[in-house]
C-alpha cells in the first residue's frame, strides 16, 4: 500500500475480510455506475457507485472504501482533485483511475502521484482484475 496517513475504519455493517474488500466507483457516466459495481460483486467485492466526488465525500462509504475506481474528468471536482482531497484529509485508499482520454503522459503522471493504475475506457475485465490485484493484493480476485 502507498504511504498514507491513516487507514479508513470500516463503517458499521461494512463487509469484512480480504475477499469482501469494499470498492467505491465514482463516475458521472451512468452506464459505468450501473455495470462496474455488478462486475466488482462478481469478482467477490462489495461495491457502491457514486455520481460525483462530492456525493462520495458525503457518504458513509468513505470510511469503508479500500479501493476507489475514479473517473478523471467529471463535472465539479475532478478525479485528481478528489485524490488530493483524500490525501489532505489523511484518508488512505488505493485509487484506480479510469478515463475515456487515452493519454499515456496523463496515465504516467497519475501513477507518479500515487494511483495504482489508470485504465483507458473501454477496458477489459482482465485489465481491471490486474489493477485490483495490484491495489488489493490480499483480496482474492478471481
DSSP state of 8: P
pLDDT at 5: 36
Under a CB-based contact definition with an 8 Å cutoff, are residues 129 and 37 in contact?
no
Q: What is the CATH number of domain 19-135?
A: 3.40.50.2300
Per-residue pLDDT reduced to its tens digit, 35-57? 999 999 999 999 999 999 999 99
Reduced to 3 states (helix: H, G, I; strand: E, B; else coil), residue 112 is helix
Under a CB-based contact definition with an 8 Å cutoff, are residues 4 and 34 in contact?
no
Reduced to 3 states (helix: H, G, I; strand: E, B; else coil), residue 110 is helix
Residues sharing a CB contact under 8 Å with residue 86, sequence separation 6 or more, in sequence order: 68, 93, 95
Strand 67-71 relative to strand 94-99, pairing: parallel
Quickly count: other Cβ atoms within 10 Å of residue 106's Cβ.
16
Per-residue pLDDT reduced to its tens digit, 86-129? 999 999 899 999 999 999 999 999 999 999 999 999 999 999 99
Grid cell, residue 44, equals 467477490
Domain spans of the chain?
19-135
Please report, in angstroms and rounded to a whole number, the separation of the first and last CA atoms in the chain.
Answer: 20
Whole-model pTM: value is 0.84
Q: Is the pLDDT of residue 4 over 60?
A: no
pLDDT at 16: 44
Angle at 44 between CA 35 and CA 52, to 5 degrees: 40
Amino acid at each position: 500500500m502507498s504511504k498514507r496517513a491513516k487507514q479508513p475504519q470500516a463503517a458499521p455493517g461494512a463487509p469484512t475480510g480480504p475477499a469482501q474488500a469494499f470498492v467505491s466507483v465514482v463516475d458521472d457516466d451512468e452506464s459505468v455506475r450501473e455495470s462496474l459495481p455488478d462486475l466488482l460483486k462478481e469478482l467477490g467485492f462489495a461495491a457502491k457507485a457514486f455520481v460525483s466526488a462530492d456525493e462520495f465525500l458525503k457518504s458513509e462509504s468513505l470510511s469503508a472504501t479500500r479501493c476507489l475506481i475514479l473517473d478523471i474528468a467529471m463535472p465539479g471536482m475532478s478525479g485528481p482533485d478528489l485524490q488530493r482531497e483524500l490525501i489532505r484529509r489523511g484518508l488512505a485508499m488505493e485509487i484506480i483511475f479510469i478515463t475515456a482520454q487515452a493519454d499515456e503522459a496523463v496515465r504516467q503522471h497519475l501513477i507518479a502521484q500515487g494511483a495504482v493504475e489508470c485504465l483507458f475506457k473501454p477496458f477489459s475485465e482482465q485489465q481491471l482484475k490486474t489493477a485490483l490485484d495490484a491495489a488489493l493484493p490480499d483480496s482474492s480476485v478471481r
